[in-house]
Chain A
Amino acid sequence: MPDRTRRAKGPAPRGPGSGSSPEGTAGGGVRQQIVVSGVGGQGVLFIGRLLAEAAIARGLPVLASETHGMAQRGGTVIAHLKVGSFSSPLVRPGQADVLILLKEENAASHGRYLRAGGWAAVNAPSAPAALADAASRVVDADALARETGLGKAVNLIVLGRALAGPPGGEGAGAGLFCTPDEIRSILRSRLARQDKILDASLAALDLGITQAIPARHRR
Chain B
Amino acid sequence: MAGRLLLLGNEAIARGLVEAGCAVATSYPGTPASEILSAVARWKAETSAPMHVAWSVNEKVAFETAYAASISGLRAAVSMKQVGLNVASDPFFSAAYLGVTGGFLVVSADDPGPHSSQTEQDSRRMAAMAKVPVLDPVSPRDARELVAPAFALSEAFGIPVMLRPTTRVCHASQDVPLGEVRPLGRRADFRKEPARWAATPVHRSRLHRELLEKLSRIASYEPTAPRRINPGVNGPRAVVASGVAFAHAADVLDEAGLMETLAFYRVVQPYPLHPAFVERLLAEHAEILVLEETTGVIEGQFRDRGKVRGKESGAVPEAGELLPETIEGIVARFARRKRPASRVPKEAPGRRPTLCPGCPHRASFMAIRKAAPKGIYPGDIGCYTLGTNLGAVHTVLCMGASIGQAAGFHHAYRQAGQDVDTVATIGDSTFSHAGVPPLVDAVVQGARFTLVILDNRTTAMTGNQPTPQSGRGALGEATAEVDIEALVRGCGVTYCRVGRPTRFPEFLALLKEAVAYARENGPAVVIARDPCLVDRAPFEEPAAPRRMTVSEACDGCRYCINRFECPALVYDAGENRVHHDVLLCSGCGVCAHVCPKKAIVEAPDA
* In contact, A53 and B6 (Cβ under 8 angstroms): yes
Interface flag for B141 (CB, 8 Å) = yes
Interface string of B262-287 (1 = CB under 8 A from A): 00001010000000000000000000
Interface flag for B573 (CB, 8 Å) = no
* In contact, A75 and B351 (Cβ under 8 angstroms): yes
Nearest CB of chain B from residue A207's CB, rounded to whole Å: 15
Bound CA–CA A112/B224 (angstroms):
39
Interface string of B339-371 (1 = CB under 8 A from A): 000111111111111111000000000000000
Interface string of B1-24 (1 = CB under 8 A from A): 100111010000000000000000
Interface string of A1-43 (1 = CB under 8 A from B): 1111011010011111110000011100000000000011100
> In the complex, what residue of chain B is closest to A27 when comparing beta carbons?
B1
Stretch of A56-64, A120-128, A167-175, A196-204 contacting B (4+ beta carbons < 8 Å)? A56-64
Nearest CB of chain B from residue A202's CB, rounded to whole Å: 20
> In the complex, what residue of chain B is closest to A142 when comparing beta carbons?
B583
Interface flag for A65 (CB, 8 Å) = yes
Could you tell me which residues of chain A, from 85 to 107, have a CB within 8 Å of some CB in chain B?
Answer: 86-90, 92-94, 103, 105-106
Bound CA–CA A7/B229 (angstroms):
11
Given contacts A64-B172, A146-B583, contact A109 B350 (CB under 8 A): yes
* In contact, A73 and B244 (Cβ under 8 angstroms): no
Total chain B interface residues with beta-carbon distance under 8 A:
71
* In contact, A75 and B342 (Cβ under 8 angstroms): no
> In the complex, what residue of chain A is closest to B328 when comparing beta carbons?
A92
Q: Which residues of A sit under 8 angstroms from B598, Cβ to Cβ?
A: none
Interface flag for B100 (CB, 8 Å) = no
Interface flag for B227 (CB, 8 Å) = yes
Q: Which residues of A sit under 8 angstroms from B174, Cβ to Cβ?
A: 61-64, 89
Q: Which residues of A sit under 8 angstroms from B345, Cβ to Cβ?
A: 112
* In contact, A90 and B1 (Cβ under 8 angstroms): no
Bound CA–CA A7/B141 (angstroms):
15
Interface flag for B303 (CB, 8 Å) = no
Given contacts A69-B32, A88-B244, contact A4 B229 (CB under 8 A): yes
Interface flag for A217 (CB, 8 Å) = no
Q: Which residues of B sit under 8 angstroms from A108, Cβ to Cβ?
A: 348
Given contacts A63-B172, A88-B250, A88-B324, contact A73 B354 (CB under 8 A): yes
Q: Which residues of A sit under 8 angstroms from B224, Cβ to Cβ?
A: 1
* In contact, A88 and B115 (Cβ under 8 angstroms): no
Interface flag for A74 (CB, 8 Å) = yes
Report, as a range, how many residues of chain A touch the other chain. 35 or more
Interface flag for B481 (CB, 8 Å) = no
Bound CA–CA A106/B260 (angstroms):
39
Could you tell me which residues of chain A, from 164 to 200, have a CB within 8 Å of some CB in chain B?
Answer: none
Interface flag for B79 (CB, 8 Å) = no
* In contact, A39 and B351 (Cβ under 8 angstroms): yes
Given contacts A1-B149, A1-B223, A87-B251, contact A68 B350 (CB under 8 A): no
Interface flag for A76 (CB, 8 Å) = yes
> In the complex, what residue of chain A is closest to B227 when comparing beta carbons?
A4
Interface string of B456-497 (1 = CB under 8 A from A): 000001110000000000000000000000000000000000
Interface flag for A157 (CB, 8 Å) = no
Interface flag for B257 (CB, 8 Å) = yes
Choose from B149, B266, B351 the contact partner of A4 (Cβ within 8 Å).
B266
Q: Binding site of A, secondary structure by majority: helix, strand, loop or mixed?
A: loop
Given contacts A65-B168, A89-B244, contact A40 B353 (CB under 8 A): yes
> In the complex, what residue of chain A is closest to B81 when comparing beta carbons?
A69
Interface flag for A72 (CB, 8 Å) = yes
Q: Which residues of B sit under 8 angstroms from A151, Cβ to Cβ?
A: 582-583
Interface string of B164-182 (1 = CB under 8 A from A): 0000100111110100000
* In contact, A68 and B1 (Cβ under 8 angstroms): no
Q: Which residues of A sit under 8 angstroms from B257, Cβ to Cβ?
A: 13-15
Interface flag for B198 (CB, 8 Å) = no
> In the complex, what residue of chain B is closest to A146 when comparing beta carbons?
B583
Given contacts A63-B172, A73-B354, A94-B342, contact A68 B349 (CB under 8 A): no
Interface flag for B535 (CB, 8 Å) = no
Nearest CB of chain A from residue B21's CB, rounded to whole Å: 17
Q: Which residues of A sit under 8 angstroms from B344, Cβ to Cβ?
A: 93-94, 112
Given contacts A18-B259, A76-B350, A105-B351, contact A2 B141 (CB under 8 A): yes
Interface flag for B385 (CB, 8 Å) = yes
* In contact, A87 and B138 (Cβ under 8 angstroms): yes
Interface-central residue, B323, B324, B351, by most chain A CB under 10 Å: B351
Q: Which residues of A sit under 8 angstroms from B107, Cβ to Cβ?
A: none
* In contact, B244 and A68 (Cβ under 8 angstroms): no
Given contacts A69-B461, A112-B345, contact A63 B115 (CB under 8 A): no
Interface flag for A44 (CB, 8 Å) = no
Given contacts A3-B227, A40-B353, A109-B349, contact A69 B247 (CB under 8 A): no
Bound CA–CA A13/B254 (angstroms):
9
* In contact, A26 and B1 (Cβ under 8 angstroms): yes
Q: Which residues of B sit under 8 angstroms from A4, Cβ to Cβ?
A: 227, 229, 250, 266
Question: Can you report 5 residue pairs joining A to B where beta carbons are below 8 Å apart?
Answer: A1-B224, A2-B141, A66-B173, A71-B353, A103-B351
Contact residues of A with B, CB < 8 Å?
A: 1-4, 6-7, 9, 12-18, 24-26, 39-41, 48-49, 52-53, 55-56, 59, 61-76, 86-90, 92-94, 103, 105-106, 108-110, 112, 142, 145-146, 151, 154
